[in-house]
């Protein structure tokens, strides 16, 4: 399996179902995203395809509000697809976003939530074409907005990469004309507090000085496959110790959180409608 596929499949040491239940199901960001999708979802639509549906949370919540929808999810990762079926009873087709196994105009709305920013060159362009081909009425996407991507350095091979595997960033201009033959009819931007200043920059500065911090635990180096291993079965320490570097790092991050930060755009929801013929 490629490092990239491995990244999207990993559930650390719990099952995909538990991973989705524990880390995503009631996560505020997921709840907020689903609410915006429901709010903006075309009222006349009777069917929906969710491209790259992951564990199916967005579809599950959308169906809660719109139970009449005929809903299908498309997911590349087999364990994730199965988890979505088990957890929510969804219809999930396994496949790749750049070759949708569906007819032209088969779904009233085709959506892709937090997917497009992950797609490499070639796959991205083909996916956009495929989504426009399969959508009868509209396309709905959510994506990070005007994201200034941060990078980490792999301690083994020193390659730099975005730890969330974001390969591209969208702004007002790139979003406007994303789907040929479709017009952008709604765009909502969700705001958040700015990044802790210097957090990732500090990591990179340390790397430039020869000390490369461990990778964040959720990620895998796309080049060499290295990941930071959690220490397991370490004997419990009873004596009180001076704060470790890790503890200090945590303290630093917490202190950063106290610095007032200007709000920044977090993600955008965009709804497109097919141009009248
Ligand atoms: Zn590496």
pLDDT for the residue numbered 122 = 97
96 closest CA partner among 58, 57, 122, 65: 122
How far does residue 90's CA lie from ligand 1's centre (Å)? 36
If you measure from the C-alpha of residue 159 to the centroid of ligand 1, how many angstroms do you get, rounded to a whole number?
6
| pLDDT at residue number 150 | 85
> How confident is the model at residue 1, as a pLDDT?
57
Identify whether 82 is part of a domain. yes
Give the pLDDT of residue 216.
86
pLDDT digits (tens, 9 = 90+) for 232-244: 554 454 444 444 5
Q: What is the mean pLDDT of the chain?
A: 88
Q: Is the pLDDT of residue 75 over 70?
A: yes
Q: Which of 56-60, 98-102, 128-132, 197-201 has the lowest mean pLDDT?
A: 197-201
Span from the CA of 81 to the centroid of ligand 1 (angstroms): 28
Q: According to the model, what pLDDT value does residue 242 have?
A: 46
Give SS3 for 240.
Answer: coil
Q: From CA 251, how far away is CA 92, in angstroms rounded?
A: 43
Residue 250 lies in a domain: no
Residue 231: per-residue pLDDT: 60
Choose among 71, 85, 113, 62: nearest CA to 16: 85
Q: Is residue 214 part of a domain?
A: no
Length of the chain: 277
For 21-30, 126-135, 176-185, which range has the lowest pLDDT when averaged over its residues?
21-30
Q: 245 C-alpha to center of ligand 1: Å? A: 23
For ligand 1, the distance from its centroid to the CA atom of residue 204, given in whole angstroms, is: 15
Q: How far is the CA of 202 from the centre of ligand 1 (A)?
A: 19
Residue with the larger pLDDT of the pair 172 and 260 = 172
Closest CA to 194 of 260, 145, 267, 262: 262
Residue 207 C-beta-side C-alpha neighbours within 13 Å: 21
- Beta bridge partners, 271, equal 140, 186
In a domain, 172, yes or no: yes
Tell me the pLDDT tens digit for each residue of 76-122: 999 999 999 999 999 999 999 999 999 999 999 999 999 999 999 99
- Whole-angstrom Cα distance, residue 60 to residue 89? 9
Phi, psi for residue 67 in degrees, rounded to 5: -65, -15
Residues with CB under 5 A from ligand 1 (ion): 154, 156-157, 221, 223-224, 226
The CA distance from 204 to 198, in Å, is 9
Q: Which of 23-37, 139-153, 217-231, 248-262 has the lowest mean pLDDT?
A: 248-262
- Residue 187 is assigned to a structural domain of this protein: yes
- Span 28-45, mean pLDDT? 95
* 160 C-alpha to ligand 1 centroid (Å): 8
What spacing in Å lies between the alpha carbon of 54 and ligand 1's midpoint? 26
Chain mean position to CA 29: 11
**Which pLDDT score is estimated for 257?**
67
Compute the distance from residue 194 Cα to the ligand 1 centre, in Å.
Answer: 28
- Tell me whether residue 58 is in a domain: yes
- Average of pLDDT values for 181-202? 82
Instruction: Give the distance (Å) from ligand 1 centre to CA of residue 214.
Output: 11
Taking the centre of ligand 1 as the mean of its atom positions, its distance from the CA of residue 226, in whole angstroms, is 5
d(CA 248, CA 255): 10
Find the CATH number of the domain harbouring 128: 3.40.50.150
35 found inside a domain: yes
| 17 CA to centre of own chain | 17
| pLDDT value of position 241 | 46
Ranking 90-94, 177-181, 200-204 by mean pLDDT, the lowest is 200-204
Number of domains in the chain: 1
Q: Residue 79 is part of which domain span?
A: 3-148+167-193+262-274
d(CA 206, CA 196): 17
Q: Is residue 207 assigned to a domain?
A: no
CA of 229 to the centre of ligand 1 (A): 14
pLDDT at 238: 47
What pLDDT does residue 204 have? 75
Average pLDDT over residues 218-230: 88
The CA 212 to ligand 1 mean position distance, Å, reads 12
**Å from CA of 213 to ligand 1 middle:** 13
Cα separation, 163 vs 150, whole angstroms: 8
Distance 192 CA to ligand 1 centre (A): 31
Distance 221 CA to ligand 1 centre (A): 5
Whole-angstrom Cα distance, residue 130 to residue 187? 22
Residue 42: predicted pLDDT = 97
Instruction: Report how far ligand 1's centroid is from the alpha carbon of 171 (Å).
Output: 30
């Amino acid at each position: 399996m490629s490092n990239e596929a491995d990244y999207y499949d990993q559930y650390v040491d719990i099952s995909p179902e538990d991973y989705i239940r524990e880390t995503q199901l009631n996560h505020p960001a997921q709840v907020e995203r689903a609410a915006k999708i429901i709010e903006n979802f075309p009222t006349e639509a009777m069917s929906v395809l969710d491209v790259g549906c992951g564990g199916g949370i967005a579809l599950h919540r959308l169906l809660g509000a719109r139970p009449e929808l005929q809903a299908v999810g498309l997911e590349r990762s087999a364990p994730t697809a199965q988890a979505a079926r088990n957890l929510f009873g969804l219809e999930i087709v396994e496949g790749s976003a750049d070759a949708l196994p569906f007819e032209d105009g088969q779904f009233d709305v085709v959506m892709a939530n937090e997917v497009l920013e992950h797609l490499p060159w070639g796959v991205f362009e083909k996916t956009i074409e495929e989504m426009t081909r399969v959508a009868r009425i509209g396309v709905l996407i959510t994506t990070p907005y005007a994201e200034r991507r941060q990078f980490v350095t792999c301690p083994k091979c020193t390659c730099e990469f975005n730890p969330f595997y974001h390969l591209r960033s969208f702004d007002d201009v790139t979003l406007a004309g994303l789907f040929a033959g479709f017009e952008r009819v709604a765009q909502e931007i969700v705001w958040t507090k700015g990044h802790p200043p210097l957090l990732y920059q500090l990591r990179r500065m340390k790397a430039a000085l020869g000390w490369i911090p461990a990778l964040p635990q959720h990620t895998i180096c796309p080049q060499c496959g290295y990941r930071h291993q959690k220490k397991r079965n370490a004997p419990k320490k009873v004596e009180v110790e001076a704060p470790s570097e890790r503890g200090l790092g945590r303290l630093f991050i917490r202190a950063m959180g106290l610095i007032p930060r200007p709000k920044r755009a977090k993600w955008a929801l965009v709804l497109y409608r097919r141009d009248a013929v």
